[in-house]
Amino acid sequence: MKPFSPEVIKNLDLDDIFSRIVVHTPYGESEKKAMTPYGPEEATALIAELDNVERITELIRANRYAFVDMRGTFSRVKDLRGTFLRLKAGEVLVVTELFEVKMLSLTIKKLSETAVLLKGRLPLDATVHALPEVDQLLDPAGVGTPTFYIYDDYAEELRGVRARLRELEDQIMLERKRIRAGLEERLGVKVRPSGELAVGKDDRALIERLNAEPDLVYSAETYVNITYRLRGNDAIDHMCSLVEDLRAEEESEEFEVRKTLSQALRELLPYLEENVKAIGRLDLLAAKGYFAIGFDCVRPDIIPPKTGAAEGLASGVLEIFEGRHLKVEQQIKKAKDSGSEGGRYTAVSLGLTPGVTCITGANMGGKTVTLKMVGMLTAVAQYGLFVPAKAMRLTPRAFIYTSIGDLQDVDQGLSTFGAEILKVSEAVKLSCGPGLILIDELARGTNPKEGFAISMAIVNHLKRASAMTLITTHFDGLADARDVRHLQVLGLSFVDFKSVMLEMENDPGKGIELLKRSMDYRLKEIHSPEEVPKDAIQIAALMGLDEKILEEARKVLVTPRG
């Protein structure tokens, strides 16, 4: 299925959801970026993915230690895709690259041990398999140290060259030390460790002796000093030139070794890439698992769309039991944790069927949050994630469409109403498909009479469509139209206003808080048209509107138009 539009992602706060899915490796980051929602035709794949998440969640719960350990391993994983490209291009890797491949192989080994510890219960494509061939290639002596060097073991020639080099260097050093010690003893001077000796020019006697000394050579001179340097002897000179030759030989031997290693790694590359992919999968799956645990999520029950149903016959389920808008819930929680006066988050239950469902109810009754919550949970489920709810049943939607918030598009010179109509006409076009259409406050941007007429016509069109449409509205008549389901916010209907007002008299500033505390954000289904409770005036009272104005409003309400 194609990704949700940037507008839907913004309206449903999906970026907030993604920020809570925390991966630790560059490969996991790529997997996360590549996540797309599963559509109705991919229901089987979605169920399989949710199986994986369920399994990883159980594994995390039962093996906390192993997973924290794994997180530590993840944090050391580096992005070697550049090195892989170089290998593919036939290039010869340098020592630091070989070191990193070795580290990757050690990481793979460690993760494969974790996989064994978890008794092979990790999903197949997230199971990392050790690559003993790579380990052996880059750790020829099998010592298991996490360092790398072109080891002697790679080639007999290299070992020979190096042994000869070391021997020569040791001999040179010994010879130099011997000469230095001899000099110091003979002349009673101190030669610096670097092999240099500076003498003041006024010490003529010493200079004479030094000049005659075969083991010293004049090196540099200032106005007051002469610096002498230890002269090697012919033996040392000879050894030094041998060292030069051997170094060049060593260099070319090493290049041969790197070439051979690169060639061998090139052949193993498919396995390395497979493992890297598995690391990414495992990283993302674990992140999904931690998301499920951390935010108290449940597995959504995916109901595949009925096959064989006649074209256009509407079907599908979308039921949410105690769903939570995660961002709003976390904000309330944060406010509470930081000590400020916070409320509680009320979970909301509702079900949608193809056609139109309307939510009506009090201002500040959470209609918009509920609307967004439905979209958020649907999207989250279709990304193969657990959802913040007690339960959810869902037939994957082919699309999600939103018309939420202030739509005024100044760039295009559109008013709120113009922009909304533009959006809604798009939705009308899409509505023959099994999608989800979310419209906040339909036609609120124009005069009530015409607004109602337009809304009614739109609803009449959408209620026969395959898409599920959820609309929040203030027009009671809209919700009570035939074949439209009507959900109402419980709101303030069970509140004893007298006592609330009394409480407010004692503390007039407490209005908003009292309101939030008294508001019941849950929904009830209305089956027959009935008088909808009018809470607006009461809410205005709680918000502190002048008593005289409120009185006037009540009068106007009883006798409209004076």
Q: What are phi and psi of 277, to 5 degrees?
A: -65, -45
| Min CB(151)–another protein separation in Å | 9
Which residues, at least 6 apart from 221, have a Cβ–Cβ distance to it below 8 Å?
A: 227
Tokens of 263: 């060639």
CB of 190 to another protein, least distance (A): 8
**Smaller CB separation from another protein, 69 or 196:** 196
Contact mark string toward another protein, 176..215, x via CB under 8 A: --------------x-xxx-x-x-x---------------
Contact criterion met (CB below 8 Å) for 458 and 428: yes
Q: Pick from 48, 68, 85, 95 the residue near another protein by CB under 8 A.
A: 95
Q: Are 229 and 216 in contact, with CB atoms under 8 Å apart?
A: yes
Nearer to another protein, 223 or 494 (CB): 223
Residue from 24, 162, 258, 423 in contact with another protein (CB under 8 A): 162
Helix (H) or strand (E) holding 438: strand 436-440
Q: Return the number of the residue (204 or 555) whose C-beta is nearest another protein.
A: 204
* Single residue of 119, 223, 410, 531 touching another protein by CB under 8 A: 223
The span from the CA of 7 to the CA of 379, in Å, is: 13
- Terminal-to-terminal C-alpha distance of the chain: 56
Q: Minimum Å distance from CB 194 to another protein?
A: 5
Stretch near another protein under the rule CB under 8 A, chosen from 17-25, 219-227, 311-319, 373-381: 219-227
In DSSP terms, 35 is beta-bridged to: none
CB closer to another protein out of 120 and 193: 193
* Stretch 357-396 residues interacting with another protein (CB under 8 A): none
Give CA torsion, residues 31, 34, 40, 42, to 10 deg: -50
Footprint of another protein on residues 244-263 (CB under 8 A)?
A: 247, 250
Is 246 or 484 the residue whose CB approaches another protein more closely? 246
Binders in 417-476 for another protein, by CB under 8 A: none
Q: Which residues contact 347 (CB under 8 A, 6 or more apart)?
A: 322, 323, 324, 389, 390
Judged by CB under 8 A, the residue of 62, 64, 149, 551 near another protein is 149
Stretch that binds another protein, among 50-58, 160-168, 267-275, 415-423 (CB under 8 A): 160-168
Shortest distance, CB of residue 230 to another protein, whole angstroms?
12
3-state secondary structure 452-478: HHHHHHHHHHHCCCCCEEEEECCCHHH
The answer to whether residue 482 forms part of the interface with another protein (CB under 8 A) is no
The DSSP code sequence of 201-225 is TT-HHHHHHHHH-TTEEEEEE-SSE
Tell me the closest approach of the beta carbon of residue 202 to another protein, in angstroms: 10
By the 8 A CB rule, do 298 and 390 touch?
yes
- Residue 83 Cβ, how far from another protein at the closest point, in Å? 11
Binding span for another protein by CB under 8 A among 162-170, 344-352, 462-470, 479-487: 162-170
For the CB of residue 255, give the shortest distance to another protein in the complex, in Å: 12
Selected range binding another protein among 143-151, 278-286, 430-438, 501-509, rule: CB under 8 A? 143-151
What is the Cα–Cα distance from 118 to 111, expressed in whole angstroms? 10
Q: Which of 18, 84, 99, 321 binds another protein (CB under 8 A)?
A: 99
The least CB distance from residue 142 to another protein, in Å, is 16
- Closest to another protein by CB, 6 vs 146, is 146
User: At its nearest, how many Å lie between another protein and the CB of residue 247?
Assistant: 8
- Give the Cα separation of 340 and 383 in Å (integer): 34
From 220-228, 329-337, 382-390, 525-533, give the range in contact with another protein by CB under 8 A: 220-228
- DSSP, collapsed to helix, strand or coil, labels residue 494 as coil
Instruction: Give the integer Cα–Cα distance in Å for 458 and 465.
Output: 11
Interface stretch with another protein, choices 20-28, 221-229, 356-364, 466-474 (CB under 8 A):
221-229
- Contacts to another protein from residues 63-82, by CB under 8 A: 78
Rounded to whole angstroms, the Cα distance separating 218 from 202 reads 16
Number of Cβ within 10 Å of residue 317's Cβ equals 17
Site residues for another protein, window 102-131 (CB under 8 A)?
A: 103
Euclidean distance between CA atoms 119 and 106, whole angstroms: 20
Amino acid at 408: Q
Which of these, 240, 193, 233, 194, lies nearest to 213 by C-alpha position? 233
Query: Residue 118 CA to chain centroid, in angstroms?
Result: 24
**Collapsing DSSP states into helix, strand and coil, what is residue 322?**
strand
> 355, 265 in Cβ contact below 8 A?
no
Q: How far is the CB of 206 from another protein (least distance, A)?
A: 14
Q: How many chain residues interact with another protein (CB under 8 A)?
A: 30
DSSP assignment of 462-529 equals HTTSSSEEEEE-S-HHHHTSTTEEEEEEEETTT--HHHHHHHHHH-GGGHHHHHHHH-EEEEEEE-S-
Question: Which residue in the set 227, 315, 363, 408 belongs to the binding site for another protein (CB under 8 A)?
Answer: 227
Residues found near another protein in the complex (CB under 8 A): 78, 94-96, 99-100, 103, 146-150, 162, 165-166, 169, 190, 192-194, 196, 198, 200, 222-225, 227, 247, 250
